[in-house]
Amino acid sequence: MIANPLPMLTEEEYLALERNSEARHEYFRGVAYAMAGAKISYKAIKSNTEVRIGMQLLESVCRIYSSDQKVRTSGGLYAYPDILSVCGKGELYQDNLEVIINPLVLIEILSPSTAAYDRGLKFEQYKTISSLKEYLLIAQDRRFVEHYTRQANGGWTKIEYLDAGSIIQLVSVGCTLRVGDIYRSVEGLM
């Protein structure tokens, strides 16, 4: 998953740990994993993406949250997506103000240590969130974005973006992202 796991915990123990911890942990099936630190390219990509989406949502009923907002899948994964968006009222897991269960868009910025997890188990778990419409994976070591969209039949389609001029349509929240803007001032950091 991410880093060295902690001893087995119940969901309640995990949530209590997170309330009192400076570090963040993702949790799945009794195991909490500490989140790894971030490189400067990650931070720049995240900031660029948040600003571009956030500016478009200013007059919208949709909101953007950063990596400090925890989500829970119906499969029991607690995760901190790098960026998420909710439209309308955010639904909370068991009235827990720290855990959202109805995101429309989830965005992960890939690193060599998390790419397989973000594409694999994490995406499998994210698919169990019935409100989720779009999943974006952004590479931080090269210009490459994967955009997954849930179809009416429940399946997912994928479009890959490599060109700086390509425009990504986040239809569920009414936003667009130009690939070059995601990577603005980052190319030399990769």
| Domain residue spans of the chain | 38-189
Residue 148 in tokens: 């997954």
- Residue entry with tokens 């989830």: 106
Neighbours of 108 (CB within 10 A): 25
Q: Give the full edge-to-edge strand order of the sheet including 83-87.
A: 62-66, 83-87, 105-110, 134-139, 145-150, 156-161
Tell me, what DSSP letter sits at residue 80? Answer: -
| Domain covering 38-189 in this structure, CATH number | 3.90.1570.10
Pairing of strands 83-87, 99-100: unpaired
Instruction: Report which of residues 13 and 169 the model is more confident about.
Output: 169
Q: Closest Cα to residue 101, out of 112, 86, 88?
A: 86
Task: Give the per-residue pLDDT at 8.
Answer: 84
Longest alpha-carbon distance in the chain: 47
pLDDT in tens, 15-25: 888 888 888 88
pLDDT in tens, 130-141: 999 999 999 999
- Flag whether pLDDT at 188 surpasses 80: no
What is the average per-residue pLDDT within 156-177? Answer: 97
